[in-house]
Structure 1
Amino acid sequence: MKLVSVETPEKSVCKMTFSATAEELEAASNAVYERTRANYTIKGFEKGEADRAQIEADRGEHTFWYDAINDLMDKDVPALYDAALAEHGFHPVDEPSYDLVSVKKDEGFVATATVALQPELNLTQTTGFVVECVTPAVTDKEIDAVLERRRNAAAELVPHKGPAVKGNVVHMDFEGLLDGVAFQGGTAQNQSVQLGSGRMIPGFEDGILGHKAGDEFDIHVTFPERYRSKELAGKAVVFKVKLHDVCVRQLPSMNSDFAKKVGGVDTMEEFREKVRKQLYDGRHGGALNRAKDQVLAKLADAAEGELPSVLVESTYQQEMQNVQQQLQMQRMTLNSYLSQIHETRESFTAKLHAGAEKNTRARMALLQIAQQENLVPTDEEIDKMIAERAERTKKTVEEIREKTNIPALKRTEAIRRAADWVIERSTIEEK
């Protein structure tokens, strides 16, 4: 492969074009074929027995091209890319994005690498920012709620001889029978269930109500039509139950004994104060982080100059991906979330894009400050960080170094140090 050209289509953006000849593409494609031929099953041949021509006749002449292109790019482009950056004195601030421009059997292929370069910003202010840190007060009602949750968590189960009612916790053995035969997953020993919790299938917990410790009885229920097991869905079954005990959840009194056992202090007054401090410290930590973010936002406002569009777009895509992942964890779609917050996709993405632009501007300003104030980590400091990471993860230094993007690690640490430097030289007013 060879480097064809190095261009700057816009300020602080570098675009390199690479090409490979038809002969290079053919040789790499044949190497992919030899490496993967055993994986192909072609009609009329045993798996792995078809030759390259037969595979390409069935799957298309491009079958091996894209793995071949990746192999050639991985082998040749990094050295060409690094040499071009060094020759032109370019300083990338992100990973390059690669695009395949064209590929033809008799011409080879052409690909590009586009990367954002460090912009030169005019930093009109780097220190002396003033922001407020507002920590909401903790109310007695909130303290009461925390104490009640801890009281419930400290409740003890006390057996009683009366009939089971909702809220009781019971321990039992049971065996489920379908047409007189025990079915998989229908048997348990000493199972604990709080009646009314809805943990068991509909009708099961109700079938226990009114029974006492020591009772043996049958519960007749029908599995829901949409039950996860198709063999049981919609089927009528019988559970043979032996009830070991019926327990009442006994809540402790909120007195000095409770304070000592649960709170680790002598009195309820001390326990309330301890809870108040815990709530306040949590809120204050969040408020302080928001105030620090405001300092960096003011730094972004004080950083004048053009940002590389590809870097802003990369940040936007990462932030959008984070949003999607968070929503996925909550089993929500973006559309349902936007419906809940009464916002259109256009306005939401516009806000996200504006935020990405501001975050990018702050990061680039911090990187520039790190360079000006000698905050960029040295090679020795990077070596120490890698050694600490290796010790922490129980891996070798070589393993960690091989998987670490050293330039990205340097940038990240430089930006972190610069953020601390700016915040230390600003004022956060506690409110």
Structure 2
Amino acid sequence: MKSTLTKKEDNLVSLNIVVPAKEADSAYNMAVSRISQHINIDGFRKGKAPKAVVERHVGVDRIKQEALEMILPKQLNQAIYDNKLDVISQPAITDYQFEAGKDLEVTVEVETRPEVKLADYKNLNVKAEVPAKDDEAFNKALEGFLNQHASMELVLDRPSNETDTVVFDFDGTCNGEKIQGGSAKGYSLDLAHSNFIPGFAEQLVGHNIKDEFDIQVTFPEDYHDEKLKGQPATFAIKLNEIKQRVLPELTDEFVKSVSRFSTIDELKADIQDYIDHQRESLKKSAGEAAVFKSVVEATEVAIPQRMIDREIESLKNEYQQRLAYQGMDWKTFVDAQGGEEAFAKTLQEDAKARIKNSLIIDKIAKDENISVEQSDFSEKLSQMASVYGVEPQQMLKQFSQNPEILSSLSQQIINDKVRDFLVNNNNIEYVEITTDKEAVEA
């Protein structure tokens, strides 16, 4: 076998592969035999019909296709190896000459990995922003723990406040017409965490049980129902119940009854460990992002539109799967992103960013000899198995049935190892920033 390479535009390469006549004829005859074993021809048992009869029955072109499928993968892999190509797409046969007794000539087009002109990615000086330490984090976490085990008690002697949960009936109208889906009885709403339109929950504060009253609201301009966008509405309210959250008393007995800890001190130590771990994790992520952003911005890579288009389709499929899970239709989602044109632009930019990031990670991994070791794979499986509550071997068995998942898992490991490499080989200054809320309170 010999091959000739011709470079084309946008990282496309044309390979002309020549297979000796003897090898090509052998593949053709094997294809005849294989096909004859799976078809019924009058007067012959399966696999016993002469070649000429099989050719007349199924056609020479089909036999040639079968022969190509048998012989080409090996020849193509050898041609790719001989020409040191880094192929990133499925090969496409653009032409072939296949005649008995003659050398087989096949022209195949493949797409190669774009050249990545890496900027400096070691010994950089970068700044990473992290939120300032929250001195109230521990108290908030402890309060959150107590809230998980709080009880709801009826309130009979005061009006509702902004931290209560209320049960009420409502009936909405807009421009004199009933709002479709705008009424309910016995609806329960946590006033502190309302997902109703702005101004609705706030007007339920300050009322007593059995009060009947109207509230006035305006639907947001970006509301999903075209008829209601920006429109004023009135809701007739009847308040049925007021409930307040009552926190349990924090004692050793309580802690033991609701957790794996025996004392308050053990619980508090675990909360502090969790906060410290979260902060370190946040710091690490910020450092990784800062270094990687610096490398990406300084790296040059020309990405063919063909690659971008494939990535856009992949992104669309991911969105559609998530939307199907959430019960949202595609048009509603696209409209919420600003319409077809705006969303298409977003997809284009996101696809280019994903491709560039992936190419840079692969290039650094190659240059630094970063690879997936068995220990890396075992550790990743153990982490995932722990999350899903199964044994690592059980998860490996499931993954082994889907090569795409194994490939994705390997890529995740490479991504993590490259990002760890970047953090360990650059100088990162962590800068604490104050959130807008903290600045106002100060």
Match of 2:109 in 1: 112
Equivalent-residue separation in structure 1 for 2:80 and 2:3 (angstroms): 8
- Report if the CA contact (8 A) 2:291-2:423 is conserved: yes
Equivalent-residue separation in structure 1 for 2:411 and 2:320 (angstroms): 26
Match of 1:16 in 2: 14
1:179-234: CA deviations, max 9, x gaps?
Answer: xxxxxxxxxxxxxxxxxxxxxxxxxxxxxxxxxxxxxxxxxxxxxxxxxxxxxxxx
1:243-282: CA deviations, max 9, x gaps?
Answer: xxxxxxxxx9665323113323455687478558647855
Match of 1:184 in 2: none
The secondary structure found in structure 1 opposite 2:129 is: strand
- Measure how far apart 1:420 and its partner are: 2.6
Match of 2:187 in 1: none
**Map 1:346-385 → 2, pairs under 5 A:** 346-365=341-360, 375-377=368-370, 385=373
**Map 1:221-236 → 2, pairs under 5 A:** none
Which amino acid in structure 2 is aligned with residue 28 of structure 1? A
Match of 1:429 in 2: 431
- Measure how far apart 1:111 and its partner are: 1.7
> Cα–Cα, structure 1 residues 147 and 387, in superposed 2: closer, same or farther, change >3 Å?
closer
The secondary structure found in structure 2 opposite 1:62 is: helix
Equivalent-residue separation in structure 1 for 2:346 and 2:301 (angstroms): 21
- Measure how far apart 1:37 and its partner are: 3.5
Matched, 1:101 2:101: no
Match of 1:76 in 2: 75
**Map 1:266-305 → 2, pairs under 5 A:** 266=262, 271=267, 274=270, 278=274, 281=277, 285=281, 288-289=284-285, 292-305=288-301
TM-score, normalised via structure 2 length: 0.51
> Cα–Cα, structure 1 residues 411 and 264, in superposed 2: closer, same or farther, change >3 Å?
closer
Matched, 1:38 2:40: no
The secondary structure found in structure 2 opposite 1:295 is: helix
- Report if the CA contact (8 A) 2:3-2:16 is conserved: yes
Which amino acid in structure 2 is aligned with residue 7 of structure 1? K
Equivalent-residue separation in structure 1 for 2:369 and 2:335 (angstroms): 44
Match of 1:129 in 2: 126
- Measure how far apart 1:301 and its partner are: 1.1
Matched, 1:62 2:55: no
Match of 1:6 in 2: 6
The secondary structure found in structure 1 opposite 2:125 is: coil
Equivalent-residue separation in structure 1 for 2:356 and 2:119 (angstroms): 11
The secondary structure found in structure 2 opposite 1:347 is: helix
- Measure how far apart 1:332 and its partner are: 5.5
Flag structure 1 segments of 5+ consecutive residues without an equivalent.
153-251, 395-399
- Report if the CA contact (8 A) 1:131-1:428 is conserved: yes
Flag structure 2 segments of 5+ consecutive residues without an equivalent.
152-246, 382-391, 394-399, 434-442
- Report if the CA contact (8 A) 1:3-1:16 is conserved: no
| Alignment RMSD | 5.2
Match of 2:157 in 1: none
Identity of aligned residues (%): 14
Equivalent-residue separation in structure 1 for 2:286 and 2:316 (angstroms): 21
The secondary structure found in structure 2 opposite 1:300 is: helix
Which amino acid in structure 1 is aligned with residue 296 of structure 2? A
- Measure how far apart 1:96 and its partner are: 4.5
